[in-house]
Amino acid sequence: MNVREILIAGGGIGGLAAALALAQKGRRVRVLEKAAEFGEIGYGIQMGPNVARMLDRLGVLKNLEHASFFPQALIFADALSNEEISRISLGKVFVDRYKFRYFVIHRRDLLGGLLDACRRREEIVLSPSCGLKTFKKANDAILVTCDNGVEIEGAALIGADGLWSPTRQAVIADGAPRMAGHYVYRGVVPTGEVADRSRIDTMTIWGGPDLHMVQYRLQGGAVMNNVATICSRRARRGEPDPGAPDELEEIFARTHPGVRDNLRYVSRERNWVLHDRDPATNWTDGRVTLLGDAAHPTLQYLAQGAQMAIEDGVVLAEKVAAAGQDYNRAFLAYQRERMNRTARVVLSSRFFGEYIHVDGGARELRNELARGRDQDHPWEVDWLYKGIEINDKL
């Protein structure tokens, strides 16, 4: 029987992970990517043991090791005092608890590993310069019109086309995502240029009033990834130029000199504006469903956006394999399994974004509570890092 391809709109991390998971189940897949080349914009990405398990299942984890860095600990420090408030040790006890290591990697290297794996699968066709423009249902198929005018027919459509997903607007029609008012500056420098080396082998986050700073190493430790985020006061007041470089300097002015010095490692050439959406109650319309940021965009504060997209791809492929050619049944089963977990990530990320940015008495309470954490028993993240149940038979 000649079974039509499953079409995936979007060739980012989530789209390629879904393509690879479906190919492992014997499904033919075509990935439609808007850009002329498959690639990733951004800097570092943190990978918890929940997603390491998924990458191992997809057969790419080992191939990522050379480009990864494995921090010794996750540290939370107060940005005003530079005091370490709490840590999670990432050694043997952590790995025994969660079965996989925590690592950090450049987004480009992660996508490259997935892309190489996809290129080795004969079931997968990669179609650059072919972003989804519109689609329509045609009997037992989906007809996609790409923005280059090409029309492609498939058995089903997975919208992995990101925060501003046109697939989502066709399925849910809920308008623009929510702007959080948080602005992010990033930069990567050689590790040898970093002045304060006291936490150089950790992933450290400094939290302060309306700000935080993150540092960790990438590319096997050769470079330091630096991320500075501010909650724009101008945005809250409705003033012009929210999140501009001078506001970055203004908000960081109260921080410890060692923290403030880290601003020299971030570029002022551009910033990223954070968005998310309230959790939805449906992602599916017949043979069409959503995945990753198209379905459940989240803020950065649990470092789980790409991780949830990769989990999505694995679960979706399982449901498709179980449902045969009944894609609507498969997609509804997929969203039932994913909705509450991804909603918890979205809402918990919002909470943590408030938690790390407080001042005054709230800051004092936060620090007191965080100091009570047992570095070897981070039970608060069990729900996240222990991951999801999957069928290990490919």
User: If pLDDT is split at 50, 70 and 90, which confidence band does 136 have?
Assistant: very high
0.75 surpassed by pTM: yes
Kindly tell me if the per-residue pLDDT of 2 is higher than 60: no
SS3 assignment, position 373: coil
What is the pLDDT at residue 389? 81
- Nearest to residue 388, comparing CAs of 16, 21, 13, 53? 53
Kindly tell me if the per-residue pLDDT of 53 is higher than 90: yes
Q: Cα–Cα distance between 36 and 130 in angstroms, integer?
A: 8
Q: Where are the domains of the chain?
A: 6-177+276-385
What is the pLDDT at residue 335? 97
Kindly tell me if the per-residue pLDDT of 280 is higher than 90: yes
SS3 assignment, position 104: strand
Kindly tell me if the per-residue pLDDT of 40 is higher than 70: yes
SS3 assignment, position 204: strand
**What CATH number does the domain located at 6-177+276-385 have?**
3.50.50.60
- Nearest to residue 380, comparing CAs of 347, 358, 348, 341? 348
Measured from the Cβ of residue 153, the count of other Cβ atoms closer than 10 Å reads 12
How is the beta sheet containing 29-32 ordered, strand by strand?
124-127, 29-32, 6-9, 156-159, 288-290
Predicted confidence (pLDDT) per residue in 226-245, tens digit: 999 999 999 999 999 999 99
What is the pLDDT at residue 393? 44
Token representation of residue 336 = 């039932």
Token representation of residue 307 = 């991780």
Q: Which residues of 174-208 are buried (b: 16+ CB within 10 A; e: fewer)?
A: eeebeebbbbbbbbbeebeebeeeebbebbbbbbb
What is the pLDDT at residue 41? 75
What is the pLDDT at residue 139? 83
**Residue 65 CA: distances (Å) to CA of 12, 42, 219, 365, 384:** 20, 19, 9, 39, 22
User: If pLDDT is split at 50, 70 and 90, which confidence band does 394 have?
Assistant: very low
User: If pLDDT is split at 50, 70 and 90, which confidence band does 39 have?
Assistant: confident
- What is the average pLDDT across 180-206? 96
Task: Return the bridge partners of 187, or none.
Answer: 226
| Percent of residues, the chain, with pLDDT higher than 90 | 95
- Nearest to residue 38, comparing CAs of 149, 164, 160? 160
Q: What's the first-to-final CA gap in the chain, in angstroms?
A: 21
Predicted confidence (pLDDT) per residue in 94-132, tens digit: 999 999 999 999 999 999 999 999 999 999 999 999 999
What value does the mean pLDDT of the chain take?
96
Kindly tell me if the per-residue pLDDT of 1 is higher than 60: no
Tell me whether residue 288 is exposed, middle or buried, using C-beta atoms within 10 angstroms of its C-beta: 0 to 12, 13 to 18, 19 or more.
Answer: buried
Kindly tell me if the per-residue pLDDT of 392 is higher than 80: no
Q: Cα–Cα distance between 203 and 225 in angstroms, integer?
A: 10
- Nearest to residue 99, comparing CAs of 338, 382, 393? 382
Is the CB of residue 207 less than 8 Å from the CB of residue 254? no
Token representation of residue 283 = 């992602």
- What is the average pLDDT across 191-196? 95
User: If pLDDT is split at 50, 70 and 90, which confidence band does 355 have?
Assistant: very high
What is the pLDDT at residue 371? 94
- What is the average pLDDT across 342-369? 97
Q: Cα–Cα distance between 64 and 249 in angstroms, integer?
A: 36
- What is the average pLDDT across 43-56? 96
